[in-house]
Amino acid sequence: MDSEVLVAGFLAAAVRVATPLMLAATGETITERSGVINLGLEGMMLAGALAATMGATAWGPWSGVACAIVAGMILAAAFALLAVGARADQIITGTAITLAAVGLTGTVYRQAYGSGGAGLSIPTLESVAIPGLSEIPVLGMALFDQPAPTYLALLSMPLVWWVLFRTRLGLALRATGEGAAMARAAGVRTKLIRTGATIVGGGFAGLAGASLVLAQVGSFTEGMTAGRGYVAIAIVVLGRWHPGGIALGALLFGAATALQFLLQTLGLDAPYQLFLMLPYLLTLLALAGAVGRVRAPADLGR
Amino acid sequence: MRALAWAIAAVGLGLAVLFLGLEAAGFSATAGLSALWLGAFGSWDAFTSSTLVRAVPLILIGLGISVAFRGGALNIGAEGQFYAGAIAATWVGLQLAGQPRPVAIAVLLLAAALAGLCWIVIPVWLKLRFGVIEVISTLLLNFVALSLVSFMVQGPLQEQGHIYPQSDPIAESARLPLLPGSRLHAGLILAVAGGLVLWFLFARTLWGFRLRAVGLGPRAAEVSGRIDSQGVGAMALLISGAIAGLAGGVAVSGVSYALFQNLSPGYGFTGLAVALLGGLHPIGVVISGILFGALEAGAGAMQRDAGIPAVAVYVVEAVVIVVALLATVPRGGWIGLRAVVRKRIAPGKAPG
Amino acid sequence: MLELVGIDKRFGSVHALRGVDFTLARGEVHALLGENGAGKSTLMHVAYGLVRPDAGEIRIAGAARRITSPRAARALGLGMVHQHFTSVPALTVAENVALSAGWPGRPHEMRERTRLLSERMGLPLDPDQRAGRLSVSLKQRLEIVKALAGDAKTLLLDEPTGVLAPPEAELLLQMVRNFTASGGSAVLITHKLDEALLTADRVTVLRQGAVTLTGPVAGQTVESLAHAMIGGDPGVPLTGRETVKGSEPRSSRELIRLDSLEVSRESGYGIALRHGSLSVRAGEIVGVAAVEGNGQRELLRAVAGRIAPLRGKLQVAQPVGFIPEDRTSEGLIPALSLTENVVLGLGSEAPWVHGGRIAWREATARTAELIRDYEIIAPGPGTRAAALSGGNQQKLVVARELSRVPAVIVAENPTRGLDISAAAAIHARLRSAAAAGAAVLFYSADLDEVLHLADRVLVVTRGMISEAAPGASRSEIGAMMLRAEREA
């Protein structure tokens, strides 16, 4: 096989796998920068995936995307009500939200599609090649011949960066995450900001779920997120709460998964479970290496 | 006894939410709830063979999580530690044919606990050495454990015919004795005994007190109590992992006699709810474990007899957790829960 | 300019302000005096919109106003400089100023405006420096710049000289006078009588939430102000000593000895104490005067055995009683009961520990004894520590540590935030412990307390220990506290 095509294919797969992670992690960065750690991300992604499935089946892929974002935001609002409004512990609340989401999506899915729901055909989002850019050798196919959510993910990176570091809102958000009591003394409405940041994060998670179903896998299965939401949280730490770093972290993860496909294509025989484990182990390794130089938002979790 | 009132309220509310949710989704809620009740408590057989059997791993994991929690650490990796214990138990159990029963069982359970301990050692080391928050590291290892189980049952531990993704049954001598006429195994004794032992340790010993102090005020424990808060927290996590691993061993030795995927229907996460509802009190955890065992036993019946997906019961669990959580908010501590949980998001070593 | 009329406020059962009237005229420095807990901070929090009064009216330039938040207060030209550091440590100086003043978020603009403002006010600051890394006096400066950035015409300063060395405090007060000279007005909240007498034009004294005195400073004396503050003979001299006692120790038994001790910073980066040498004998009370962050914390904690030194010799007689600075996060666990806190402190050497088991009945009885002995106001040994007032919490910590019958007592800011009678009680306990043969080493940010209590005074600057000569005056000690900074 032509090595250039091989590498291009590998990169394209890596980017495709990375997209939902990048979306979820970007949303979580906003949330965590305001001082809230959202372990319900996994549940919100799953809910988004199911909402996308149902919306796409009914009205088409983009409606599916919209439904997914709304689903994520609704769950995030519930989480914010408890964790920010009632000041309940964020970790446990987040875990509860995920549990609830797993239960709800499972129930709704079975009810809507019966017990033999697998193998549905749902309208998906196909790759859209950007003219000109997609002809660049190797990188072109990897970055510019992808389904729409990938472009959304790539665009959201500089956008989020700009809001965080170049606007008043971003300053207030960061102040809330680094010193909420002090921020309040300066007149910042911290509860409002945290709630808003959480809901935005939930919207991103829903979008991530939509991209998983509509742009990557093509169908829905129960529990299909398989921990991606939690991995997104790890990527946030890896990327040091910075949009650029997160993109790289997500790509790392995508690459590890894509490696599996690459090696299969090359005919190397290795137990596939090893590759399933690899991304998680790599993340742990990177966390250990990264944490020494990393500083979380000072008021995260409080 | 305010804690008891909150617990009852939590469960009641959870069931109410389930009722409403089922009606809204088009199921027959009364049929569902009655199937739930019958499946859990409807008969002696239901109670012992369904409810109590399911309660055992929940009690054990709940106890483990409450130990960690009391020490100020949150172990979300109980699922993975459970599986690590199950893998070790299976491997050991396959080798113990012909050994005297008490010895075989003891060796198997010990191996399981050790495996659980090893599984949590990595997050503990990451926390001590690099400041990685245990919430993330224990969580990630869950998935690694799942993959490992999959690998084992399709590879080294696969049954002789190499057809099914499961192991051979373990040796007879390594199986926990059963209550005659039911599927209830001696693991229940372990669970209840564990509760009693921990109760004694927490209430009457210096060790238990130190654990509590570290959980509620690690800084003060260090400065005024001259307690090594990090060490105590680490030890709490290690014990927690060992107990979760033990739960896996008990599951293999008492129920399944073999290893396969999905051995645990989410015990690691349900265990969290069990620990919380029990107020982190060992006896409370035992009772709470039985309650959740009832829920899960009933869920199975609910699916079989009323056609309602069993996962719906997760909603009840989620509501229970939330109510238990809210109980801690107004007074700043059901048992000081809020003070415990607030300390856990510690940033890594800051460069200053 | 600013009038507060009939302000009344209750916090639960505490009647913090009882119909207080307060008037600030344009261009004046008005001192607001009172003991800890008298209501001074609360009154200014009302003016700044942090606290809503139960009754009363606020008038700005004659017109009645409702001030519902700090933002509203700032819009009316009020600026507050708080007692505690209120900047976000992780953000830069410019970001903190911009946040406080409500400026748009463009970094370049924020930086320039901050730089211009701070220089114009004679308080230069580096806009890009992280707020958490600033020295104590620069942090104070940032607080003031933040207040001024909002175009404040009226400054409310809450105990601004609390953490400053005497020369820095003088500079600050001078700045306040300059501010009022150019048309601004300032309220100076303080418990230091001499500050009020020297700096203010008018003075108001609060006692237990009510005004006991108000009028021009001219004609007031330390005694008249003290009387208004305490109402009657305090029994304890308020201004106390002006010079170092320097008394000779009665015993020659050495209980603390340091030789060339080197201790790293608690945060782990850099050396906090170098070549530390010190000797304290039985019965001596040694006080440490220092500006925050110069190494005195590490010195004390090394002696107390809480930090392991890097190099040098350290010999401390056991047992050691340690009273840490922060009673709610280091001294006590607020969620635990009084008995449990006592058990916490005494650990495995306690009489109620038998082979790893705790005899709770014994511990509870002993705690009840301590409560009686030290006159701690609490419903019982089972009360949660969080329910006690600051003074009683501190008494519990002291009681616990002294019940060990320690050979050495180390105390950090032992009477911080306490009212005069509670402080006096603790001083008395420390004195009697010393009289019974213990060695006491303590640090206080309040130079008055150091002079009042200590036999010998040490000064720690930039990690170096030096001793003040017997008879050294306050200003001489102040100069010592800042000396190395100027030389460096």
Q: How many CB atoms lie within 10 A of CB B196?
A: 12
Q: Answer whether A292 sits within 8 Å of B315, measured CB to CB.
A: no
Which residues does chain A have within 8 Å of residue B338's beta carbon, measured at their own beta carbons? 89
Which residues does chain B have within 8 Å of residue C329's beta carbon, measured at their own beta carbons? 217, 219-220
Number of CB pairs, chain A paired with chain B, less than 8 A apart = 162
Report the largest interatomic distance among the alpha carbons of chain B, rounded to a whole angstrom.
65
DSSP category for residue C17 = E
Going residue by residue through chain C (488 aa), what tens digit of pLDDT does each one get? Answer: 788 888 888 887 778 888 899 999 888 999 998 877 678 888 988 888 888 888 888 988 888 888 888 888 888 888 888 877 888 888 999 999 988 887 876 788 888 888 888 887 777 888 888 888 888 778 888 888 888 887 888 999 988 887 777 788 888 888 888 888 888 899 999 877 888 888 899 999 988 888 888 889 888 887 788 778 776 554 455 456 677 777 777 778 888 888 888 888 877 678 888 888 999 999 999 999 887 778 889 999 999 999 889 889 999 998 999 999 999 889 999 989 999 999 999 988 888 888 889 999 999 999 999 999 998 888 889 999 988 888 889 999 999 999 989 999 999 999 887 877 788 889 999 999 999 999 999 999 888 888 889 999 999 988 889 888 888 887 788 778 776 544 44
Q: Does B265 touch chain C (CB under 8 A)?
A: no
Instruction: Give the long-range contacts of residues A111-117, CB within 8 A, separation 24 or more.
Output: A111/B25, A111/B26, A111/B27, A111/B309, A112/A54, A117/A220
Which residues does chain B have within 8 Å of residue A240's beta carbon, measured at their own beta carbons? none
Nearest CA in chain C to B228: C306
Give the integer Cα–Cα distance in Å for C256 and C250. Answer: 15
**Considering chain A, what is the average pLDDT of its residues?**
85
- What CATH class is the domain B41-295? mainly alpha
Q: Answer whether A186 sits within 8 Å of C100, measured CB to CB.
A: yes
Test mutation, C134, C330, C333, C410, chain B, max B CBs within 10 A: C333
In this prediction, residues A273-285 reach a mean pLDDT of 79
ipTM, interface predicted TM-score of the complex: 0.82
| Tokens coding C7 | 């302000």
Tell me, yes or no, whether A168 lies in a domain: yes
User: Shortest Cα distance from B222 to chain C (angstroms)?
Assistant: 8
Give the integer Cα–Cα distance in Å for A127 and A110. Answer: 30
Q: Does B226 touch chain C (CB under 8 A)?
A: yes
In the three-class reduction of DSSP (H, G, I as helix; E, B as strand; rest coil), residue C80 is classed as strand
Domain borders along chain B are 41-295
We report the CATH number of the domain holding residue A89 as 1.10.3470
pLDDT given at position C239 = 53
Of B130, B144, B350, the CB nearest to A277: B144
| Tokens coding A60 | 């088409």
Q: Are B254 and B186 in contact (CB under 8 A)?
A: yes
| Tokens coding C79 | 């600026």
Which residues does chain A have within 8 Å of residue B342's beta carbon, measured at their own beta carbons? 89, 301-302
Predicted confidence (pLDDT) per residue in B9-20, tens digit: 888 888 888 888
Q: Answer whether B224 sits within 8 Å of C340, measured CB to CB.
A: no
Tell me, yes or no, whether A130 lies in a domain: no
Q: Does C268 touch chain A (CB under 8 A)?
A: no
Of C335, C340, C357, the CB nearest to B205: C357
Give C473: exposed, middle or buried? Use CB within 10 Å, 0-12, 13-18, 19+: middle
Q: Answer whether B143 sits within 8 Å of A277, measured CB to CB.
A: yes
Q: Can you say how many angstroms the Cα of residue A264 is from the centroid of all Cα atoms in its chain? A: 26
Give C398: exposed, middle or buried? Use CB within 10 Å, 0-12, 13-18, 19+: buried
Evaluate the CA torsion angle A268, A273, A275, A276 in order and state its sign. positive
Which residues does chain B have within 8 Å of residue C335's beta carbon, measured at their own beta carbons? 216-217, 332-333, 336, 339
Tell me, yes or no, whether A199 lies in a domain: yes
Residue-wise over C85-116: b if at least 16 C-beta within 10 A, else e? Answer: bbbbbbbbbbbbbbbbbbbebebeebbebbbe
Q: Are B80 and B107 in contact (CB under 8 A)?
A: no
Q: How many CB atoms lie within 10 A of CB C77?
A: 18
pLDDT given at position C197 = 86
Residues listed for chain A: 302
Q: Can you say how many angstroms the Cα of residue C19 is from the centroid of all Cα atoms in its chain? A: 28
Q: How many CB atoms lie within 10 A of CB A268?
A: 8
Nearest CA in chain A to B149: A273
Per the DSSP assignment, residues forming a β-bridge with C154 are: C78, C185
Q: Does B217 touch chain C (CB under 8 A)?
A: yes
Q: Answer whether B140 sits within 8 Å of A230, measured CB to CB.
A: yes
Q: Which chains contact C through at least 3 pairs of Cβ atoms less than 8 Å apart?
A: A, B
pLDDT given at position A140 = 75
Scanning B31-70 for CB atoms below 8 A from A yields: none
Of C269, C332, C348, the CB nearest to B220: C332
Give B2: exposed, middle or buried? Use CB within 10 Å, 0-12, 13-18, 19+: exposed
Of B207, B223, B349, the CB nearest to C324: B223
Would the pLDDT of A267 be above 80? no
Scanning B239-298 for CB atoms below 8 A from A yields: 269, 272-273, 276
Q: Which chains contact A through at least 3 pairs of Cβ atoms less than 8 Å apart?
A: B, C
User: Shortest Cα distance from C441 to chain A (angstroms)?
Assistant: 34
Which residues does chain A have within 8 Å of residue B314's beta carbon, measured at their own beta carbons? 99-100, 102-103, 106
Q: Are C95 and A185 in contact (CB under 8 A)?
A: no
Q: Are C283 and C251 in contact (CB under 8 A)?
A: yes
DSSP category for residue B177 = P
Q: Number of folded domains in chain A? A: 1
Give the integer Cα–Cα distance in Å for C301 and C314. Answer: 12
| Tokens coding B293 | 């065992």
Q: Answer whether B213 sits within 8 Å of C333, measured CB to CB.
A: yes
Task: Map tokens 């697998």 to a residue.
Answer: A118
In this prediction, residues A128-155 reach a mean pLDDT of 80
Q: Does A186 touch chain C (CB under 8 A)?
A: yes
3-state helix, strand, coil in chain B (%, to 5): 75, 0, 25
Q: Answer whether B322 sits within 8 Å of A82, measured CB to CB.
A: yes
Give the integer Cα–Cα distance in Å for A110 and A106. Answer: 6
Q: Answer whether B137 sits within 8 Å of A293, measured CB to CB.
A: no
User: Shortest Cα distance from A259 to chain C (angstroms)?
Assistant: 39
Residue type, B324: A
Q: Answer whether B25 sits within 8 Å of A39, measured CB to CB.
A: no
Number of CB pairs, chain B paired with chain C, less than 8 A apart = 76
Q: How many CB atoms lie within 10 A of CB C487?
A: 8
Peptide bond into B102 cis (omega under 30): no
pLDDT given at position B336 = 39
Tell me, yes or no, whether A40 lies in a domain: yes
Residue C223 CB partners (closer than 8 Å, separation 6+): none
Tell me, yes or no, whether A69 lies in a domain: yes
Give the integer Cα–Cα distance in Å for C48 and C70. Answer: 6
Residue-wise over C228-251: b if at least 16 C-beta within 10 A, else e? Answer: bbbeeeeeeebeeeebbbeeebee
The domain containing residue A201 runs over which residues? 19-124+151-287
Q: Does C127 touch chain B (CB under 8 A)?
A: no
Confidence of residue A5 (pLDDT cuts 50, 70, 90): confident
User: Shortest Cα distance from A172 to chain C (angstroms)?
Assistant: 7
User: Shortest Cα distance from B297 to chain A (angstroms)?
Assistant: 16
Strands C254-264 and C271-281 turn out to be antiparallel
Nearest CA in chain C to A175: C88
User: Shortest Cα distance from B70 to chain C (angstroms)?
Assistant: 13
Q: Are C34 and C40 in contact (CB under 8 A)?
A: yes
Q: Does C71 touch chain A (CB under 8 A)?
A: yes
Q: Does B20 touch chain A (CB under 8 A)?
A: no
Q: Which residues of chain B have pLDDT under 50?
A: 330-352
pLDDT given at position B135 = 82
Q: Does B178 touch chain A (CB under 8 A)?
A: no
Strands C55-60 and C2-11 turn out to be antiparallel
Of B206, B225, B333, the CB nearest to C358: B206
Residue that wins the pLDDT comparison between C382 and A287: C382
DSSP category for residue C349 = G
Give the integer Cα–Cα distance in Å for C350 and C352. Answer: 5
Evaluate the CA torsion angle C45, C49, C52, C57 in order and state its sign. positive
| Tokens coding C120 | 């114009």
Q: Answer whether C107 sits within 8 Å of A178, measured CB to CB.
A: no
Q: Answer whether C86 sits within 8 Å of A187, measured CB to CB.
A: no
User: Shortest Cα distance from C335 to chain A (angstroms)?
Assistant: 17
Q: Does B129 touch chain A (CB under 8 A)?
A: yes
Helices (H), ranges, C221-325: 222-230, 296-303
The radius of gyration computed from the CA coordinates of chain A, to the nearest angstrom, equals 19
Tell me, yes or no, whether A222 lies in a domain: yes
Q: Answer whether C89 sits within 8 Å of A178, measured CB to CB.
A: yes
Of C334, C336, C357, the CB nearest to B204: C357
